[in-house]
């Protein structure tokens, strides 16, 4: 079975690479210069086939690499086995418990006897562990963080090493969060439920870049989109984008679908659960499995029925039922395949360039943003891969 998984994983990696020309080009450059020679990298990013291509780039650039997916549902086992067969230390599998996920993060940090020299993080949990037990990682020189919530949390830490935030740039916000996660979230919902969205009341909790993408895609399929927001600023944006904006409870009372997209815990609690219409579909595409308070849901549940592979029907004590997708985890990764390879080509190009840069020069301690020059460079590379030029020569 392992040999079959390795073959399947290698095929998946080849397929992803064929749709990731920017990252492939960066790898060819890195193979010649090997800027990460001598570095040990511990990574915690959803272990999909696209992430696998990033891992292969890091190895080609000279690094020893250990990796974990960092959540319960996103690891693609065939990709994990293919990377293991290539010498990467991989910790984790699809379908882990939350305790096993946390253990995997600890294991990947301890994968090297002297610890990692660079950490690639997705949600700041590895970086926070390093800060809490800094003496255990004396040779760590730098890290990168690729999520909105993770970058926010890293900025609150007392750092004695640099962290590059690979998030607050146009090519990440727009390509990955809005268009990538917007599409893959709807894809995951449709794969899980087979439902018709046209005419349905689709509530999106949060109107950051991800929430906006989900709202746009749901509206494009004919849903009546309602948005709930944590701040007045995002509420204004949502309203001016043409979406109805309601309080969380009023929105939940109308929801045929309720999708969280915030990165914060307890977005849906008993207060919303008590007013959801019977038959409502509940799912999450934010960063954490804690966005839907599963304890509050369990307290109201009389019986759980697994009606489809990713659909748990919670029969509530008051006679209603709600369908929870993917156990409250990331629906786009659990029920779907995550963001398209073409999208992650841009995101991982930024993360790769930031990491390769750390191999050449380590900046001062603290949080550093990706430069506007790199953002423009990645956009230029992507346009070139698409056969598009915007200068006068192209127009001639």
| Closest-CA residue to 192 (of 184, 203, 200) | 184
> Per-residue pLDDT for the chain (396 aa), expressed as one digit of tens each?
589 999 999 999 999 999 999 999 999 999 999 999 999 999 999 999 999 999 999 999 999 999 999 888 889 999 999 999 999 999 989 888 889 999 999 999 999 999 999 999 998 999 999 999 999 999 999 999 988 888 999 999 999 999 999 988 888 888 999 999 999 999 999 999 999 999 999 999 999 999 999 999 999 999 999 999 999 999 999 999 999 999 999 999 999 999 999 989 999 999 999 999 999 999 999 977 899 999 999 999 999 999 999 999 999 999 999 999 999 999 999 999 889 999 999 999 999 999 999 998 999 999 999 999 999 999 999 999 999 988 765 444
Number of structural domains found in the chain? 2
Do 12 and 156 lie in one domain? The reply is yes
Could you list the residue range(s) of the whole structural domain that residue 94 is in?
Answer: 2-168+340-395
The residues near 50 (Cβ < 8 Å, ≥ 6 apart) are 16, 20, 338, 339, 341, 344, 345, 348
Domain boundary at 329, 361, 379, which?
Answer: 329
- Radius of gyration of the chain, Cα coordinates, nearest whole angstrom: 21
> Is 173 inside any structural domain?
no
Give the pLDDT score at 396: 44
Give the pLDDT score at 95: 86
> Is 283 inside any structural domain?
yes
Give the pLDDT score at 148: 81
Do 183 and 319 lie in one domain? The reply is yes
Helices (H) and strands (E) in the chain, counts: 18, 15
Both tokens of 381, joined, read: 């590379």
Q: If DSSP codes are grouped into helix, strand and coil, which group holds residue 276?
A: coil
What CA–CA distance (Å, rounded) separates 26 from 11? 21
Do 198 and 259 lie in one domain? The reply is yes
Do 147 and 6 lie in one domain? The reply is yes
Question: Per DSSP, which regions of 64-175 are E strands?
Answer: 64-68, 89-91, 118-121, 142-145, 162-165
pTM of the model: 0.87
Do 194 and 261 lie in one domain? The reply is yes
CATH number at residue 310: 3.40.50.720
CB distance 151 to 145 below 8 Å: yes
Beta-strand pair 162-165/142-145: parallel
Do 156 and 14 lie in one domain? The reply is yes
Give the pLDDT score at 395: 47
DSSP state of 291: S
Domain boundary at 275, 296, 329, which?
Answer: 329
CB distance 172 to 346 below 8 Å: yes
Do 188 and 140 lie in one domain? The reply is no
CATH number at residue 95: 3.40.50.1480
What CA–CA distance (Å, rounded) separates 347 from 356? 14
Do 299 and 377 lie in one domain? The reply is no
Do 159 and 255 lie in one domain? The reply is no
Do 135 and 284 lie in one domain? The reply is no
Do 217 and 298 lie in one domain? The reply is yes
């Amino acid at each position: 079975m392992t040999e079959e998984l390795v073959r399947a994983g290698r095929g998946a990696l080849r397929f992803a690479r064929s749709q990731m020309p920017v990252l492939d080009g960066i790898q060819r450059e890195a193979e010649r210069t090997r800027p990460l020679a001598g570095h040990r990298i511990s990574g915690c990013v959803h272990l999909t086939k696209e992430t696998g291509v990033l891992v292969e780039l890091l190895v080609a650039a000279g690094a020893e690499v250990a990796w974990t997916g960092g959540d319960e549902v996103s690891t693609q086992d065939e990709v994990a086995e293919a990377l293991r067969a290539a010498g990467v230390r991989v910790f984790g599998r699809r379908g882990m418990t939350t305790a096993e996920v946390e253990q995997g993060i600890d294991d990947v940090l301890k994968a090297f006897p002297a610890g990692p020299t660079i950490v690639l993080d997705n949600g700041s949990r590895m970086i926070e562990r390093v800060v809490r037990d800094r003496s255990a990682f004396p040779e760590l020189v730098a890290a990168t963080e690729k999520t909105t919530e993770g970058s926010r949390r890293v900025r609150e830490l007392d750092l004695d090493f640099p962290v590059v935030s690979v998030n607050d740039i146009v090519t990440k916000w727009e390509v990955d969060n809005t268009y990538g996660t917007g599409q893959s979230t709807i894809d995951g919902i449709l794969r899980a439920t087979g439902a018709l969205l046209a005419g349905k009341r689709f509530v999106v909790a949060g109107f950051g870049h991800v929430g906006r993408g989900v709202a746009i895609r749901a509206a494009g399929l004919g849903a009546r989109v309602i948005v709930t927001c944590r701040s007045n600023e995002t509420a204004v944006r949502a309203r001016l984008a043409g979406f109805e904006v309601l309080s969380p409870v009023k929105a939940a009372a109308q929801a045929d679908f309720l999708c969280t997209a915030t990165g914060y815990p307890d977005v849906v609690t008993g207060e919303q659960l008590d007013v959801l219409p019977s038959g409502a579909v509940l799912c999450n595409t934010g960063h954490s499995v804690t966005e839907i308070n599963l304890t509050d849901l369990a307290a109201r549940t009389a019986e759980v029925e697994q009606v489809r592979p990713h659909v748990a029907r919670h029969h509530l004590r008051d006679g209603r039922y709600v369908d929870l997708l993917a156990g409250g985890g990331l629906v786009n990764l659990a029920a779907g395949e995550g963001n398209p390879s073409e999208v992650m080509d841009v995101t991982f190009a930024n993360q790769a360039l930031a990491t390769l840069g750390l191999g050449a020069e380590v900046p001062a301690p603290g949080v550093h943003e990706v430069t506007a020059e790199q953002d423009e460079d990645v956009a230029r590379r992507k346009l070139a891969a698409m056969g598009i030029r915007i200068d006068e020569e192209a127009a001639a």
